Structure 1
Amino acid sequence: MPSSRPENGNEAEDAVCHFLPEEKLVDYVMNRLPESERAGVAVHAATCSHCAERLQEWEQVMQLPELEGFCLTVDGVDGSVDDGHHIEVPSPERSLIPPARMGRKLRMRAYLRSAGIWFARNRRFILPGAASAAVAVFLLAGLFSMKQQVVPSAESIDGEVSSKIAVMQSAAYEQYPISPMPPMHGSGGVWINRNSGELLIVVDGLKPTREKDYQIWLQQEQQPVSDGMLLTRNSHGKGYYYGYGPVDPDQIVISLEPKGGSHVQTGPVALRIKVNGQQ
């Protein structure tokens, strides 16, 4: 008898277990849950293939070489529980626990991954997989609640971005103006909080194209890391980006890439912004 639950295809990929939110999986991997809650997560993941797969993804993230430098090591952490269930976790002799800064980024990444899933399925932007070294999210997934699954209007986006900029006018954020360079782009600005990894980019004059996307690259000592796509909303080319990343960039590059983005930069540079802390 054929199964009523598909094993392959888009329907299987879209299956979601609401018992364990992404944030709890991150806290489990980071060893930040009480023992009673850890046991509950382990027992559930032992019987739910969907949650077990997500848990394994987050464990792989924590073991990436790019993230190990941000992590602390703790001895004697065991992922087993008394009833015989066992979930694969980082080695008991060397369990990775990120400090507060990386922890905030991972939990924000998890929260917005679950909260922004509708937008990610219905818009042509890249949401990096859980095993990606860049912990990135995008403007609309983070600034809008997507009530009734309605894409916000351009006016609504402008209002939300203006409110966000007002919050970022503080000493915690570095601010870098973008000088206009016609016909490549107009004026704009970049706001960075290096403690949290928070990043906002607003720029005018980037003309939307049907064949290309504007992809953002964070460069640190000439090593680029993709941090997602710049959203362009209208014929005036107003572009927005809001996200988080583990890299402290010394410059930000925006390039024109094929639709959906590239693993490495291949297209021409549309904008280059130095953000080396010298304002």
Structure 2
Amino acid sequence: MKVARRTMTNKCEWKEEELFDFVAGKIDRFKSKQLRLHLKSCHDCQSTVSEWKAILHCEQNVTQPSPGLKRRIDKSIDKFAKHKVNKWVSKPAYAIAGCFLFIFALLGLLQMKSTGGEEYFVQQQEELSHHPIARDANTSQFKVIPTSNFNKNEIEGTVWLNDKNNEMLLKAEGLTPIVEKDYQLWMIHPKRDLNGELLTIKNGMIVFYYKGEGLDEVRFIEVSLEPKGGSPLPTGPKAFYVDLQQ
């Protein structure tokens, strides 16, 4: 797969290096939220992010390499990451790096690494339709509980939570898109700030995957209707919630 090269324009100041870091889960939470908002209106960035996602997740269907080979290629990846601190990266060098990353992904070497609660990875919609988390023996299953504020009899869904792998998958259906409003997911920790994520609704359905440290501390998952672009805190009516410690 060839990733389309991007150049910075007056309308978009996000560089491809930043889009790659976003897909790889290597940017901070604030910057990640800014980029997710930007992706809602920038088709060029949407396309580039989708292509990087496809490349970096090829490892799900290939055989893992030997530990020795993995260590050698991990060192190459680290060198590439350090090289990106330069303000400008030449197009030939970046193209070569992209080719190497594609090869590494095919070998199953690029995996999400999480260092504390500040780094996490989010993925939504079609690519998650057959995610293996639901078949893992360490996964717990929880039902979505709709509230009376919405079409209670139509909303239904499930959350799969795997504390061992620090990952969660939410599937829910029966939600109605509302003009000038966004559905936003909240992870409620007893000792942490709220973590809000904008949700993509397609045909009334949410498919949302999250991987990051601290999932074992999450008490509730809630989805509320917020102003377009999302809110720093829940302000709108609650569509449904999930009790993860029931």
TM bracket (short chain): 0.5 to 0.7
Aligned equivalent of 2:214:
247
* TM-score (norm: length of structure 2): 0.53
Q: Distance in 2 between matches of 1:17 and 1:229?
A: 20
Q: Distance in 1 between matches of 2:141 and 2:182?
A: 25
Aligned to 1:138: 123
Percent pairwise identity? 24
CA contact (8 A) 1:138 1:228 kept: no
Paired position in structure 2 for 1:106: 113
Query: Distance in 1 between the 2:184 and 2:20 partners?
Result: 35
Match for 1:212 among 165, 168, 181?
181
How many residues align structurally? Answer: 173
Q: Which residue does the alignment assign to 2:199? A: 230
SS in 2 for 1:232: coil
* Paired AA for residue 140 in structure 2: E
Query: CA offset at residue 268 of structure 1?
Result: 2.0
Tell me the equivalent position of 1:176.
142
Change (3 A) 1:47 1:210: same
Gaps of 5+ in 2: 1-6, 28-70, 91-109
Counterpart of 1:44, as a letter, is H
Aligned pair 1:13/2:20, yes or no?
no
Structure 1 pair 220–187 and aligned structure 2 pair: CA distance change class (3 A): same
Do 1:178 and 1:188's aligned partners in 2 also have CA atoms closer than 8 Å? yes
| Partner in structure 1 of residue 67 of structure 2 | none
The structure having more radius of gyration, on CA atoms, is 1
* Cα distance change on mapping 1:9 and 1:224 into 2, 3 Å: same
Q: How many Å separate the matches in 2 of 1:243 and 1:39?
A: 24
Shift of 1:180: 5.2
Q: Cα RMSD over matched residues? A: 4.3
Greater RCO (CA < 8 Å, at least 6 residues apart): 2
Give the secondary structure class of the aligned counterpart of 2:113: helix
Structure 1 segments unaligned to the other structure (5+ residues): 1-5, 27-31, 52-102, 110-131, 145-159
1:57-114 Cα deviation digits (max 9, x unpaired): xxxxxxxxxxxxxxxxxxxxxxxxxxxxxxxxxxxxxxxxxxxxxx96436x9xxxxx
| Pair 1:189 & 2:174 matched | no
**d(CA) in 2 for partners of 1:23, 1:180:** 33
Report if aligned partners of 2:24, 2:121 keep a CA contact under 8 Å in 1: no
1:44 corresponds, among 65, 70, 83, to: 83
